[in-house]
């Protein structure tokens, strides 16, 4: 492309995202709606700062010259241990026409189909408007069902209707971002959402399982919640503070990940998001105990600025960076990664 996808995205996302050279939440504090962190933006910044504190032990004397980035999570074969996080609401989070010509359907297609093309899995968002989930569902179908629709923690019959709609895609895994229970953009639109008890979560997991689909939740930040999730029968959990967009003053996900992974102790896969930008960041999270990572804002920038091509290009950046980081820490593949590579 004559312009990079980041350059194009910067033009299209003005006022919503500055597409900073380093996406660390400092310029966009309080931009919710938008792509920033809630309030002071401290939770967004904490994700970046927590990863910055993690250091890798460089090793160059070994025989792992051509490491493999492939892995499997929840039965999904992945070219690298990365999923695109569920983000929706293009018109109020990512720029408005005519400045941003990318609509919800084109955005979902770019993320989910671009990920499928590159050998990983994209997740689809949800919102008050049915358009967000419908757009994600169409992209998942176009990707031979290889995508993960996420449903918000709605209240009442609306929740079950959305679960049914998501399951109709034939997806192998369905997600719920329980951390959206306090998302200001949903409150502003007046639709009820709420935290879920262990019993409610078990009912939802059972409903999803009856359809032959696995169920994962995103938004676990404590050992207590991790134990509730495991006991409720979820198939995987994502350590996440919703990109710092729901509660000011939380720790970074890399700070709480090791304790949660230790408490889960392999009973279900533990994934993580929050501040992951590069292949090196991916490796750090794996070393801290995650089986895979979700990445949010960088995929939005790639999709808005370059469509499917931008998404594929960003995934290739991640793959190259992860391959190099694996080689320089003596890891022959993802299964070789562990806390021993941390300095």
Catalytic residue numbers, as ranges = 242
Residue 109 DSSP one-character state: I
- Record the tokens describing residue 129, joined without a space: 């408007």
The CB density around residue 185, as the number of other CB atoms within 10 Å, is: 18
Give me the helix-helix angle, 297-327 and 279-287, nearest 10°: 70
- Please give the full DSSP string across 72-123, using - where no structure is assigned: EETTEEESSSEEE-----HHHHS--TTT----HHHHHIIIIIHHHHHTSEEE
8 Å CB contact between 292 and 271: yes
- Whose CA is closest to 334, among 116, 78, 54? 78
- Please give the full DSSP string across 271-304, using - where no structure is assigned: EE-SS--SHHHHHHHHHTT-SEEEE-HHHHHHHH
């Amino acid at each position: 492309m004559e312009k990079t996808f980041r350059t194009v995205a910067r033009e299209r996302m003005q006022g919503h995202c500055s597409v900073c050279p380093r996406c660390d939440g400092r310029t966009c504090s309080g931009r919710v709606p938008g792509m920033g962190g809630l309030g002071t933006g401290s939770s967004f910044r904490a994700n970046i700062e927590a990863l910055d504190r993690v250091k890798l032990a460089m090793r160059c004397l070994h025989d792992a010259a051509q490491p493999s980035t492939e892995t499997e999570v929840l039965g999904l074969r992945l070219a690298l241990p990365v999923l695109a996080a569920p983000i929706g609401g293009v018109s109020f989070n990512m720029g408005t026409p005519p400045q941003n010509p990318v609509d919800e359907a084109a955005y979902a297609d770019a993320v989910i189909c671009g990920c499928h093309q590159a050998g990983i899995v994209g997740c689809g968002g949800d919102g008050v408007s049915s358009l967000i989930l419908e757009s994600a569902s169409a992209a998942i179908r176009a990707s031979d069902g290889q995508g993960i629709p996420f449903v918000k923690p709605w209240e009442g019959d609306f929740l079950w209707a959305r679960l049914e709609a998501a399951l109709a895609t034939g997806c192998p895994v369905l997600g719920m971002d329980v951390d959206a229970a306090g998302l200001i953009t949903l409150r502003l639109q007046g639709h009820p959402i709420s935290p879920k008890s262990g019993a409610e979560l078990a009912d939802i997991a059972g409903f999803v399982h009856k359809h032959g689909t696995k169920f994962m939740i995103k938004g676990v930040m404590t050992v207590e919640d991790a134990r509730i999730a495991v006991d409720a029968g979820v198939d995987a959990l994502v350590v996440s503070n919703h990109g710092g967009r729901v509660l000011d003053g939380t720790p970074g996900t890399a700070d709480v990940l090791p304790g949660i992974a230790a408490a889960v102790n392999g009973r279900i896969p533990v994934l993580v998001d929050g501040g992951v930008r590069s292949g090196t960041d991916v490796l750090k999270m794996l070393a801290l105990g995650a089986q895979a990572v979700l990445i949010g804002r960088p995929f939005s920038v790639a999709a808005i600025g370059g469509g499917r091509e931008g998404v594929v290009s960003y995934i290739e950046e991640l793959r190259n960076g992860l391959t190099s980081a694996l080689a320089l820490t003596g890891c022959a593949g993802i299964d070789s990664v562990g806390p021993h590579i941390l300095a």
